[in-house]
């Protein structure tokens, strides 16, 4: 059984040049996938190495066979361009370097809803879930506070009472804006 596809020297050179000059990671990955298939690797091996499915490797090879390197180019995305996300990506790292108490929050750390509120004040309407996606894109992780006392809660009645009190008053801890 023959693995891979047959590539001429010219096609190998074209694919290598395409992979070298592209700035898009998807285009680079597709060119690399076709090259590896040309070296005789199975689609399963190539997919595992590049982090894609076996089917995607077959699609790349088929596209290349029909249209060459031009077929491997990524098309411009359709739909409305994201505006709020770009502006928020610039502001969030600067915001996170500052203390939330300077903005009127009693908490000592930033939480998603507070970041979303501050972006709203800056004129960037984003939800807290969108803030989470932006933070993931930027590679920034927020520590989520746990409302659970360490140790055995069943035996420690004092800790359980503290947690109940905190849960009851936590919404009131946020300072109201002066009007």
Residues 122 and 151 both lie in one domain: no
User: Quick one: pLDDT at residue 176?
Assistant: 56
Q: Is residue 4 part of a domain?
A: no
Check: pTM over 0.75? Answer yes or no: no
CB-CB contact of 170 with 151 (8 Å): no
Q: What DSSP designation does 80 have?
A: P
Measured CA distances, 131 to 81, 91, 118, 137 (Å):
17, 11, 11, 10
H-only helix segments in the chain: 9-21, 25-38, 43-50, 54-67, 84-96, 112-121, 128-138, 157-169
Residues 120 and 163 both lie in one domain: no
State percent of the chain over pLDDT 70: 86
Q: Provide the residue count of the chain.
A: 179
Quote the CA–CA distance of 153 and 119 in Å, as a whole number: 38
How many structural domains comprise the chain?
3
Q: Is residue 19 part of a domain?
A: yes
Residues 41-55 pLDDT 10s? 999 999 999 999 999
Residues 19 and 48 both lie in one domain: yes
Residues 115 and 163 both lie in one domain: no
| Residues spanned by the domain of 152 | 147-179
Residue-wise pLDDT tens for the chain (179 aa)?
456 688 899 999 999 999 999 888 999 999 999 999 999 999 999 999 999 999 999 999 999 999 999 999 988 878 887 777 888 899 999 999 998 888 888 878 888 899 999 999 999 899 888 999 899 888 888 776 565 555 555 566 777 777 788 778 777 766 555 44
Residues 96 and 125 both lie in one domain: yes
Residues 34 and 68 both lie in one domain: yes
Residues 66 and 104 both lie in one domain: no
Q: What DSSP designation does 83 have?
A: -
Residues 125 and 91 both lie in one domain: yes
Q: Is residue 1 part of a domain?
A: no
Residues 43 and 96 both lie in one domain: no
Output the six-digit token pair for 49. 């190495």
Q: Is residue 64 part of a domain?
A: yes
User: Quick one: pLDDT at residue 137?
Assistant: 87
């Amino acid at each position: 059984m023959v693995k891979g596809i047959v590539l001429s020297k010219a096609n190998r050179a074209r694919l290598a040049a395409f992979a070298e000059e592209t700035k898009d990671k998807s285009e680079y990955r597709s060119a690399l996938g076709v090259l590896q298939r040309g070296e005789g690797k199975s689609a399963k091996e190539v997919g595992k190495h590049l982090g894609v499915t076996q089917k995607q490797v077959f699609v790349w090879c088929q596209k290349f066979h029909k249209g060459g390197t031009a077929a491997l180019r990524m098309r411009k995305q359709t739909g409305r361009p994201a505006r709020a996300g770009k502006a928020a990506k610039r502001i969030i790292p600067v915001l996170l370097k500052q203390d939330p108490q300077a903005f009127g929050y009693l908490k000592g750390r930033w939480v998603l809803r507070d970041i979303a509120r501050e972006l709203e004040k800056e004129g960037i309407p984003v939800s807290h879930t969108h803030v989470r996606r932006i933070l993931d894109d930027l590679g920034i992780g927020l520590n989520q506070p746990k409302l659970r006392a360490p140790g055995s809660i069943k035996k420690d009645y004092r800790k359980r009472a503290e947690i109940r009190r905190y849960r009851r008053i936590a919404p009131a801890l946020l300072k109201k804006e002066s009007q």
